[in-house]
Every structure is written in C-alpha cells, then in structure tokens.
Amino acid sequence: MERMALGMQRKMTVVGVDLGASNVRFILYSQGHEKSSLLVPLTARTPHDLEQLVVGGVRTMLSRGASCGLTVSAIGVGCAGLVNRERGVLVLPPNMPSIRNVAIGDAVRSATGLPSFVDNDGNCALLAESVSGVARGKRNVIMFAVGTGIGGALMLNGRLYTGRIGFAGEVGHIPVMRRGLRCGCGNIGCLETVASGTGIQHYVQRAAAGGAATAMSPTEMLSAVTIGECAKRGDHLAQRAFSRAAYYLGVAGAGLVNTLAPDMIVLGGGVSESGLLHVNMDRTLRAKSLSLIVESVSVVLAHNGSRAGAIGAACLAERLAGGQPLYLD
C-alpha cells in the first residue's frame, strides 16, 4: 500500500510556492524534478494584492506546464510567518504590517480548481530535506533555519509536528540569555536576537561602536553575508560574531537533543550557507547534551539552499494530494 502510494506520488506534477519575506518563488515540479521556476518580488501591500500575486504566479506555472504536456494536480504554498495550515491562512507574515489573515489556500483553490495546501516555510524546508536532501530516510529531525530571523521545524517519527495550535518548531524563540535585545516576539534574549543574521549584525555594530578592533567597513557590517566574508578573510570581530551565534545555536540545540533524541539536526537558511556556523554549533551541542543521546546525532548543513521552501511546498502538495499522512496529529 505504502509502495503503491509512493509510486503514484512520483508521477504527479505539482506547483510549489515559497512566499518569503521579500520574494515569491514558484516552481513546476514533476516526478521529483524542478521543470521551471519563476521569482517575483513581493510588492503586495494588501491581502488582496498578495492573493493576486500568488494566483498570477501559479497561473503562469500552470500554462508553462501545459505547454510541455504536464498537467498540474495540486499546489503547495510555504509561507514565512505564522500559518494556520488547517484553514490555509497566512495569519501573520513577517515585515508586512498592513497584511494579516490572508486566505491563500482558498484564493489559489478557487482560481485554479485544484487542491491547494498551505504550511509554514520552516516545515516546507524540513520536508524538502527529508524528501530530497540530507535528512532522507531520517525519522526524527530538528531544523534550524538561520536567515534574517531564525525559523525551524520538527519531524518526529517521520511526521511533521506542529503542536496544539500549529505553531510548534519556533526554535528561534528559545530563550538563551537573561539580558539582551528585545525580540520581535516581545521577549528578551531569544535565540533569534543573538544568532540570526540580524543578531550577528547587531553584535558587530555594537562592538565596533564600543571600540573593538576590526578591518570591516560600516557598509560591510550591514549584512551577515559580508560579515561572513570578512570572517573568512581573518577579521577577528567578524569571527567572534559567528562563533557566538554558533555557540548559542548549540546551547538551544542541546536542549532539544536532550528533550527529543533526534537522528539529526539540519542547519539551513541563508546565513548558514557561509559554512561558519555548523562546526561550532555541533561542538557546543555535543559538549552540552547527554552523551548517550548525542553520540549518534550530528549537525548537518541543509542541501536545498534558497530553493528549499519551494521544493518543500511542492513535496507538501505531492504528499497531501496523494493522500499520504504528513502530520503527527
């Protein structure tokens, strides 16, 4: 039964949509391969604009599919921010104060007549790694996605775990410091304030303003990507900022390892692609976890990079339209 369902799934053509903080990526995904893609800047200012932007991109992918003889069976949408997946509603997107409660699932479904599924982008990224990335075959996986903020997701016994109200896996809001910056969530000392791209920038800028020695220019301090390049060139302040971020990722990771005993921790997101976090995160995690639990666990860099959200959204559509269980309910 399971094998038959999997066979059916791989014959399917779907559209995956990654609705991020600044762009929307659309992919046409058929039999496990990306056939076409489209990246659109996120210009929407109202829920209606946002729905139309997503529907427009989906229509483009449907016609691209039709022109090469592929019929789309379902659509998956992964959204940054808080998502009510059962209702297909993007409740609270990041960085768009004028937009709340967008019924993305209904909008796509009524425009196309196709089954449409919506989830958080962290869950989609973890699903992408589980289907076609570093977590293939693993049943218990914790994902940290380090970008402008820190997202995350949990896979337990081969299913995504979303918790009582669907927002589980928010690893960026694990408190790690007694004092420190106020987080976007309102609390003080969340992991995200220390170890995200924004946290790294803030640390560097504050240390430089306080007289710390650095060869970085003020412009280079404006992005975690350029700070990472300076770290690789040997700048001590830049290196310290990344080691500090990795240390706190390891502290939060150790708490989760001791609690959940996973097979693997996947580290994704744009800031992790610097390659400057996973080794030190792994070291701290190993030092602070129970040795019997952590001995077979490692921190592994994600494989799908910036396409993880769209690939994962496509996998979401494949799995749910194929009637396969995905969530640990």
Gyration radius (Cα) of the chain, Å = 20
| DSSP conformational letter for 16 | E
Give the C-alpha separation, 221 to 205, whole Å. Answer: 6
Binding part of the chain for Zn ion, among 9-17, 108-116, 161-169, 171-179 by CB under 5 A, reads 171-179
Tell me which DSSP letter residue 252 carries: H
185: contact with Zn ion by CB under 5 A: yes
For Zn ion, the binding residue among 54, 190, 285, 321 (CB under 5 A) is 190
DSSP for 110-162 reads HHH-S-EEEEEHHHHHHHHHHHHSTTTT-SSEEEEEESSSEEEEEEETTEE--
Q: Which stretch binds Zn ion (CB under 5 A): 24-32, 81-89, 173-181, 207-215?
A: 173-181
| Of 85, 173, 286, 319, the one binding Zn ion by CB under 5 A | 173
- State the CB neighbour count (10 A cutoff) for residue 85: 21
Nearer to Zn ion, 22 or 187 (CB): 187
Interface region with Zn ion, contact rule CB under 5 A, candidates 57-65, 175-183, 271-279, 313-321: 175-183
**Applying CB under 5 A, does 183 fall inside the site for Zn ion?**
yes
Q: Kindly tell me which of 71 and 187 has the beta carbon lying closer to Zn ion.
A: 187
How many residues touch Zn ion under the rule CB under 5 A: the total is 5
Which region, judged by CB under 5 A, interacts with Zn ion, from 25-33, 186-194, 203-211, 320-328? 186-194
Residue with the two structure tokens 């914790």: 142
Q: Minimum Å distance from CB 233 to Zn ion?
A: 32
Per the CB < 8 A criterion, the answer to whether 253 and 294 are in contact is no
Interface residues with Zn ion (CB under 5 A) are 173, 183, 185, 187, 190
